[in-house]
Amino acid sequence: MAVRDCNGNELTEGDAVLVIKDLKVKGASLTLKRGTLFKNIHLTSSQEEIECREGKSTLVLKTCFVKKA
Q: Give the integer Cα–Cα distance in Å for 46 and 53.
A: 18
**Domain enclosing residue 39, as ranges:** 3-68
CATH for 59: 2.30.30.40
What total of structural domains would you count in the chain? 1
Quote the distance between the C-alpha of residue 6 and its chain's center.
Answer: 11
Q: What is the pLDDT of residues 25-52, one digit of tens each?
A: 888 888 999 999 999 999 999 999 999 9
Cross-strand pairs, 54: 57
- Give per-residue pLDDT as tens, 10-25: 999 999 999 999 999 8
Confidence of residue 55 (pLDDT cuts 50, 70, 90): confident
